[in-house]
Amino acid sequence: MSSIAREAYKIKEEFDFLRRTKLEFEKAVQFINAEVKSVEKGIVKRLEQPFRQLTVTFPVKMDDGSIEMFTGYMVQHSRSYEPTKGGIRYSPEVKLDLITALAFDMTLKCRVADLPFGGSKGGVCCNPKKMSQAELERLTRRYTYEILPVLGPDSCVPAPDIGTSEREMGIIYDTYKMLSPRSPYASAVVTGKPLSLGGSQGRKEATAQGGAYILEEAVKQGHIEGLSSLKDATVIVQGFGNVGYNIANILYKDYGCRIVGLCDSKGGIYCQEGLNPKDVLAYKQNISPEKSIVGYNDFQPLTVEQLLTSPCDILVPAAKETQIVGTLANDIKAKVILELANGPTTNLAHETLIEKNVYVLPDILANAGGVTVSYFEWLQNKAGENWELSMVKEKLQKKMVTAYMNVVETAKNYNLDMRSAAFVFAVSKEIEILTARGIFP
């Protein structure tokens, strides 16, 4: 291979989320083989592949009377436990490889958080920002119909992700219930629903809240060099949707952090004195013509790259995958990175961050709060219960701290960074379950 071809391959590999996930998985398997115990080759092959990849194409009648075709996916990665669990993404960037990588990640996340689910992920290639609410409702209903053969409270249970919210989850529940009227526990077919349809208290903030609990524990245990308290710690958050807004608000309100930088897809703002996330949200929703945070208080607009490399103690990627890339990593100034987005840091960038002694709290650990409260919602739906917020938060904190300590212990025992430790922990657990189940028939 010529040096140009090798360089091109390296770039492709860095930007390919599925390839990155598989590389990390292969590394974990090699490590387990060398240091823990030998792994049956067939089990590795089984884990590399999702057990089901469903691709559907379907028409939607648009508001102007025209008909548009859309492509949707539902990938179920592992049936170590069922149902499989994972979000549904609406974005123009949705494609089979991306959804497959996210489903793989979900399996590993469920092992780290110790939840009895396999991983899955769904998505539709569309631009929800350019569609009306009525068009999105028709798209959601038809997509639900198309994935109905695999959907169910004990087979595949979706949740919100980029571009979807509790509104779409409510529509999925209604569509499922109309098409399967005698299904028991029908509300458990989807989580992240509105409270009025059996949603759980605390689900909307769960991903951010879970991340905050982990960060709090890491600081308390003195694991982040140069950061002994969250009070007045400076924070930059990338992404200002469900997860990004909520982490900024929780760190500001409950921990006294100073939110110095925020950004969305249109750009970022930075203010050394600190921002109140609620005020920025009100500007974005009610004043900005572009529905963006850019322009808030006439702060100088920054590019996303400028914001990610601005000074702060805590950097929270909460937008999408492949954002902290190799070319940026050296300029990152944060002491800790709390990965609330899935796959935000490339393997190349991660190596540089570890060399720079940045403490990286990896996605499959840091953002597991969302699927954990989804699990609580599913349990409540099955039992016909409605837990109070204080109970949800208490249980979430316990789960997150336990998951954190398990990964810390693995990292210490084997002298690994936190991402490698999370993968080794998760892959070992998954292998243990698959081995115990054996092969049907």
Point out the residues that are catalytic: 121
Q: Which of 76, 107, 200, 207 binds ligand NAD (CB under 6 A)?
A: 207
Q: Judge whether 261 and 310 are in contact, CB under 8 Å.
A: yes
Query: Is the torsion defined by CA of 171, 174, 179, 183 positive or negative?
Result: positive
Q: Which is nearer to ligand NAD, 187 or 242 (CB)?
A: 242
**DSSP classification of residue 367:** T
Say how many C-beta atoms besides its own lie within 10 A of residue 293's C-beta.
Answer: 26
Q: Which is nearer to ligand NAD, 114 or 414 (CB)?
A: 114
Q: Which stretch binds ligand NAD (CB under 6 A): 51-59, 156-164, 183-191, 269-277?
A: 156-164
Min dist CB 34 to ligand NAD, Å, is 31
Query: Which listed residue (173, 240, 359, 387) binds ligand NAD by CB under 6 A?
Result: 240
Q: Does 242 bind ligand NAD (CB under 6 A)?
A: yes
**Between β-strands 314-317 and 234-238, what pairing exists: parallel, antiparallel or unpaired?**
parallel
- Spatial distance between the Cα atoms of 422 and 400, rounded to a whole number of angstroms: 13
- Is residue 369 within 8 A of residue 388, CB to CB? The reply is no
* Binding of residue 340 to ligand NAD (CB under 6 A): yes
Distance CA 211, CA 317 (A): 11
160 binds ligand NAD (CB under 6 A): yes
Does residue 318 belong to the site contacting ligand NAD (CB under 6 A)? yes
CA dihedral 418, 17, 81, 244 (to 10 degrees): 70
Handedness of CA 57, 58, 62, 67 (dihedral sign): positive
Give 242 or 420: the residue with its C-beta nearer to ligand NAD: 242
Is residue 312 a contact residue for ligand NAD (CB under 6 A)? no
Look at residues 85, 83, 102, 105 and name the one whose alpha carbon lies nearest to residue 94: 102
Least Cβ distance, residue 80 to ligand NAD (angstroms): 20
Q: Which of 367, 410, 420, 428 binds ligand NAD (CB under 6 A)?
A: 367
CA distances to 51, 173, 202, 366, 409 from 377, rounded to whole Å, are 25, 13, 10, 20, 29
If the CB atoms of residues 205 and 430 are measured against ligand NAD, the closer one turns out to be 205
**Counting contacts by CB under 6 A, is residue 104 touching ligand NAD?**
no
Q: Does residue 277 interact with ligand NAD by CB under 6 A?
A: no
Tell whether residue 304 is a contact of ligand NAD (CB under 6 A): yes
| 199 near ligand NAD (CB under 6 A) | no
Q: Is 158 in the site for ligand NAD (CB under 6 A)?
A: no
Contact 341/243 with Cβ under 8 angstroms? yes
Cα–Cα distance for residue pair 415/160, rounded to 1 Å: 36
Nearer Cβ to ligand NAD, position 118 or 241?
Answer: 241
Least spacing, CB of residue 310 vs ligand NAD, in Å: 13
Task: Work out the burial of residue 213: count CB atoms within 10 Å of its CB; fewer than 13 is exposed, 13-18 middle, 19 or more buried.
Answer: buried
Q: Residue written as tokens 């999408």?
A: 320
Of 37-45, 145-153, 211-219, 236-244, the segment contacting ligand NAD by CB under 6 A is 236-244
Of the two residues 313 and 377, which places its CB atom closer to ligand NAD in the complex?
Answer: 377
- Regarding 161 and contact with ligand NAD (CB under 6 A), the answer is yes
Decide: helix, strand or coil at residue 252. Answer: helix
Closer to ligand NAD by Cβ: residue 24 or 264: 264
Shortest Cβ distance from residue 201 to ligand NAD (Å)? 15
Judge whether 313 and 235 are in contact, CB under 8 Å: yes
Interface residues with ligand NAD (CB under 6 A)?
87, 160-163, 207, 238-244, 263-265, 304, 318-320, 340-342, 367, 370
